[in-house]
Amino acid sequence: MKKLIIVLAAIIATQTSFAQQKIGYLNSTEILQSMTEYKTMSEAIEKKKGEYSKMMENMYAEYDKKTKELQADPNMAKPMQDMKVQELKDLEKRMTDFQQKAQGDLQAYAAEISKPLQAKYQNAVKEIAKEQGYSYILDLAANSVVYYPETGGDISVAVKTKLGANLTPAPKPMPRPAGK
């Protein structure tokens, strides 16, 4: 009987402490996209992506040129033909290696230049949470929340205001057609 009373007291104490916690939610994607620094960061990433695309286009042009050279002379000596085919295979490998390296470099570049933006966002969320007395802030963009209240608790506007960001909602992406 004494153990039952202790367990009940512990349950009641736990429920009371949970009832006093204030939980808020936000959409980090919407907030980050509304920040002025986001546009600058996106433009820098697109510029770098364009540079890599240009390099890749040059490699494709070289590949096309070598392919046409090989096809242009059907009477080419076998050793010369083998050498040209090997050149094409080597170029294909260089192209594949370049694509993989460029993709990795682009991801690392994006992660590096987004650090100040992320830090500013994190600091604003912490300040708002402390100012408004929230115990927890849930991020809806992380898809880790299955239920959240329809009203109250959304601090997205407060964080945007704190950051001096655009208060109009970001456009929602078009849904992809099924099977693509």
Position 62 pLDDT exceeds 50: yes
pTM: 0.65
Domain 23-163 has CATH 3.30.910.20: yes
Helix (H) or strand (E) holding 23: strand 23-26
- Contact call for residues 88 and 66 (beta carbons, < 8 A): yes
- Reported for 94-101, long-range contacts at CB under 8 A and 24+ positions apart, including other chains, are 94/59, 95/56, 95/59, 95/60, 95/63, 98/55, 98/56, 98/59, 99/56
How far apart are alpha carbons 124 and 109 in whole angstroms?
Answer: 24
- Contact call for residues 138 and 145 (beta carbons, < 8 A): yes
pLDDT band at 11 (very low <50, low <70, confident <90, very high): low
Side-chain half-sphere exposure of 118, counting CA atoms within 13 A: 6
pLDDT band at 171 (very low <50, low <70, confident <90, very high): low
Per residue in 105-152, pLDDT (tens digit) is 999 999 999 999 999 988 898 888 888 887 778 888 876 543 344 556
Residue 89 pLDDT = 94
Residue 65 class from Cβ within 10 Å (0-12 exposed, 13-18 middle, 19+ buried)?
A: exposed
Residue 180 pLDDT = 46
**Phi, psi values for residue 143, rounded to 5°:** 55, 30
Average pLDDT (2-26) is: 59
Per residue in 24-43, pLDDT (tens digit) is 888 889 999 999 999 999 99
- Contact call for residues 95 and 63 (beta carbons, < 8 A): yes
